Structure 1
Amino acid sequence: MNSHYTQEFARATPGCIIILVDRSESMGMPWAGSAGLTLAEGAAIAINKTLFQLCVRSTKEAGQPLRPYFYIGIYGYGLCPSAGGEGVESALPGPLAQRAIVPLPELADSPIDVRPNPSTDAMPGRGRLPVWYEPAHGFRTPMCAAMHLAGSHATEWAKVFPKSFPPIFINITDGLVTDSPHRGLDLAGWAARLTSIETGNGRALLLNAFLSASQAPITAFPARPENLPEPGPELFAISSELPETMIRNALTAHVELEPKARGFVFNADLAMLVKFLEIGTKFEVSHG
């Protein structure tokens, strides 16, 4: 029996979730069918909802401190609001921006703001929601450089937690990569480097969500790349097959899957992006 991707998420074996988010100029375009939001604004809503849900799952008792069941990294590529110009930088909030990957309790204690919780079809909005990630857009799409930087930090994390579930990379983009090749490797090469990072519980997983400013048919978790326009085939090719844990999440979310479905969605709207992130990050934790 294959024992990969079976490790529970606990204090001794935490998970690592790294979000790569496109901050190119085109992310400032209106997102069709998403209540007047730009792509960048919608992505920020989905990211913040996901981080909040991770906080909820890491809480054993109401009012008690969060357990460090997850480590989080967020990397923006394109506009770098902190450093200026185009590139890749940590998009963690405030003083955490100088860090590469942080325990979830530290992130939970460092929100930028607390605002009304926006509602989506995939996740209702009730009460108020902490905000850790703010939208930004400008310049081009240096996706390879983002994978390079994030991968270097995830490699070090995997050495510290060799028995944990392997790192999960979630790439949110709306455009064609503009820095392939980067340091002698094309996008497929950098994606292969990411997914070669491993723990004793398997190799890292790479999930990709492609957003489109226009209303177009959504392709979610395909098993084949047929009939996808660019950059669909390229992103499909670098996306990991869903492990059993994520397959169960998808079925619970009423998403039908074919065998060998991959962690990829093309032309996602906001509701699908929220659902996609939920499927990729919803894990049972050990409260022992």
Structure 2
Amino acid sequence: MSDKFGNASHDKSKEVANAINELLYEVGLRCYSGDEVKNRFEIGIIGYGKDSKVGSGWEGNLSNKWVVSIKNIFEHPLGNEDDKPIWITPIASGSTPMKQAFDNAKRLTQDWINWGNHRECHPPIIINITDGEATDAGNNYQDLINEVNQLKQLRTNYGLVNILNIHISGKNADRVLFPNEVSHLNNKFSKLLFDMSTHLNENMVRIALQKGYNIPNNAKGYIYNGNAVDLINFLNIGTPQ
């Protein structure tokens, strides 16, 4: 995440932090009713890579929390940049324990679904952002595959969990956006991320089309070599409107 993001003046970690902060801000604005933010979303941020560990990505007053309501998120920003609140700052270090991160996501998702009336809610959406290959995936990636397949089986009464992946890169060419097949890719791990991704639902397709993407039948929530704009759009496409 320390490499430059395409032609951007700063690195990938900064672009990722900017995109996540922007998404949190937009989600919160959608939840305003009068002067109050209604608890219409609950969001977790899992960071992986720093010191080869997996942990909560929240900072400041939200540090060490896992799933936080949008109301509490808006009550505890880390600070402000460009007259907008921010909640996370860029971090780029360590390895890529992706299997461990998905195991963490699975346990959080299970707990969330089994709490209160969440089985009557929209199924959770897992958005994985990475610029490198998993370092704990096991032989032929099987450990990672098994973890993701277990996560894919979790569901609420309104459907199965959604898993979206974006493989960001410093390259400006060979962008692959929401494909339905990736036989042309020579990168084995990129093909794995495609396989790990679930298909876009009708609402995601609608938003993607509105943003100008060409969406084929049976498109998956996957981007390869996306740029900074794709990253921001990807997060919005993956979030219920």
1:86 to 52, 55, 63: 52
Task: Tell me, in whole angstroms, the C-alpha distance in 1 between the residues paired with 2:237 and 2:14.
Answer: 21
Q: 1:132 aligns with which of 83, 87, 107?
A: 87
For residues 228 and 129 of structure 1, the distance between their equivalents in structure 2, rounded to whole angstroms, comes to 39
Could you tell me which of 68, 84, 94 is aligned with 2:39?
68
Cα distance in 1, alignment partners of residues 87 and 234 from structure 2: 19
Structure 1 residue identity aligned to 2:98: M
Separation in structure 1 between the aligned mates of residue 73 and residue 138 of structure 2, nearest angstrom: 33
* 8 Å Cα contact 2:55/2:64 also seen in 1: no
What is the CA distance between 1:42 and its match in structure 2?
0.6
Higher helix share: 2
The within-5 A match list for 1:75-154 is: 75-79=46-50, 85-116=51-82, 128-154=83-109
Aligned residue among 29, 35, 38 for 1:56:
29
Structure 1 residue 216: Cα displacement: 2.1
Q: TM-score, normalised by structure 1?
A: 0.79
The partner residue of 1:240 within 198, 206, 218 is 198
Q: Which residue of 2 aligns with 1:212?
A: 169
Which residue number corresponds to residue 225 of structure 1?
182
Moved >4 Å (runs of 4+): none
Q: Determine if contact 1:93/1:110 at 8 Å carries over to the other structure.
A: no
What is the aligned-residue RMSD (CA, Å)? 1.4
Distance (Å, rounded) in 2 between the aligned partners of 1:267 and 1:210: 6
Give yes or no for the alignment of 1:277 onto 2:235: yes
Sequence identity percentage: 30
Query: 1: distance between equivalents of 2:7 and 2:184?
Result: 23
CA positional deviation for 1:215 = 2.1
SS at match of 1:277: helix
Out of 143, 154, 169, which is 1:197 matched to? 154
Normalised by the length of structure 2, the TM-score is 0.94
- Letter of the structure 2 residue corresponding to residue 60 of structure 1: S
Structure 1 unaligned regions, length at least 5: 1-26, 80-84, 117-127, 284-288
The one-letter code matched in structure 1 to 2:30 is R
Instruction: Determine which structure has greater relative contact order: mean sequence separation of CA pairs < 8 Å that are 6+ residues apart, divided by chain length.
Output: 1
| SS across alignment from 1:194 | helix
Aligned partner of 1:173 in structure 2 is: 130
Q: Which amino acid counterpart does residue 220 of structure 2 have in structure 1?
A: R
Aligned equivalents of 1:138 and 1:102: distance in 2?
Answer: 25
- SS for the counterpart of 2:80 is strand
Q: How much does 1:40 deviate?
A: 0.5
- Structure 1 position 263 matched with structure 2 position 184: no
Residue aligned with 2:212, SS: coil
User: For 2:229 and 2:14, how far apart are their aligned partners in 1?
Assistant: 13
Question: What letter is aligned with 1:48?
Answer: N
Amino acid at match of 1:168: I
Give the AA of the match of 1:156. Answer: D
Aligned residues: 237
2:4 equivalent to 1:30:
yes
CA–CA distance in structure 2, aligned partners of residues 228 and 276 of structure 1 = 20
**Do the aligned residues in 2 keep the contact of 1:170 with 1:206 (CA within 8 Å)?**
yes
Which of residues 8, 11, 15 is equivalent to 1:42? Answer: 15
